Amino acid sequence: MGLLLVFLVSCGGENDPSPTIIYTARDGKELKMDVFYGDDSCKVDFFDVDIALRPAILYFHGGSWISGTREKIHQRYREHVLRRLMERGMVVMSVDYRLVGLGRGHLEEAVNDCRDALSFVVENAEKLGVDTARIGLWGSSAGAHLAMMTVFADSTAARRVKFVVDDFGPVDIHEMFEVVPQWGREFVSDMIFDMEGKDLAKFDSLTSVYSPINYDTNLPVLIFHGEDDDVVDISQSRMLHEKLRDKSHFITFSGNGHGLKKLDSLQLREYIDNFENFLDSIL
């Protein structure tokens, strides 16, 4: 993951300079991240530019591990959060990773990709203008799960990060799949874990391995969840909050299901205020 992997693919419009860089290549696929500086010019050759070091946050998109792209950062409330983070002088990276599915990647690869993205940012921090003492992770749904797995289950990655923001992410996927009929679990075992045969005992073991709730962490975590979520039940976030206790902040939104698609203006303000207060308490 050296500098040879990095080059400018594109920039956003005049009011949205966002270099796109390749952070690694796996299985013949280039994996990219958009980098938002909030400046009034694109860093066409930003490795040769003297950039003041800034706090940074890596964003991992949702999509049930099987769909979605880094462009999701521009959808709904996240676009407003992105703009506010840039106004605060933060570098924001929106990251693609290998999606899960038959004939594609599996959950292990997705987690490894997220760790590669973090390693890339740390190893190239000075050239990217990132302060390695002030890096955080942010994810939505499956992306929040990947953000937590990136650092909860890897002590090296955890030492590189100051905080995690978890938007309605699943934390106990063993519990989530436990209610799925056997045929469904067999299908998911092939799709998510690339398991040969139908060894449901091994499937249960792997769902536990990939459940963030089963790991201890000292990282502060900010949790957002809609009270009417019928995809990732709010009990998942409540479980995490109860385990982390004073290391977590848990904010819920009435009238909202999965994705916080119905945030009104007051709720959006509440989300952003809590996000900013959380950052102020850490950075």
- Output the DSSP codes for 243-279: HHGGGEEEEEETT--TT-TT--HHHHHHHHHHHHHHH
151 pLDDT above the threshold of 90: yes
Query: What's the pLDDT at 204?
Result: 79
The label of the residue with tokens 């996000």 reads: 275
Lowest-pLDDT choice from 90-94, 206-210, 278-282: 206-210
Query: What's the pLDDT at 6?
Result: 45
Query: What's the pLDDT at 202?
Result: 77
pLDDT in tens, 83-111: 999 999 999 999 999 998 766 778 999 99
* Res. 10 pLDDT band, cuts 50 70 90: very low
**Where are the chain's structural domains?**
3-172+211-282
Q: Which residue has the higher pLDDT, 278 or 7?
A: 278
Helix (H) or strand (E) holding 183: helix 182-193
How far apart CA 68 and CA 71 sit, in angstroms, is 8
What average pLDDT does the chain have? 87
Query: What's the pLDDT at 15?
Result: 43
Check if CATH label 3.40.50.1820 holds for domain 3-172+211-282.
yes
How far apart CA 143 and CA 94 sit, in angstroms, is 11
Query: What's the pLDDT at 102?
Result: 60
Q: Which residues, in sequence order, are CB contacts of 201 under 8 Å at separation 6+? A: none
pLDDT in tens, 134-146: 999 999 999 999 9
Instruction: Read off the tokens for 228.
Output: 């009417």
Max CA separation in the chain (angstroms): 57
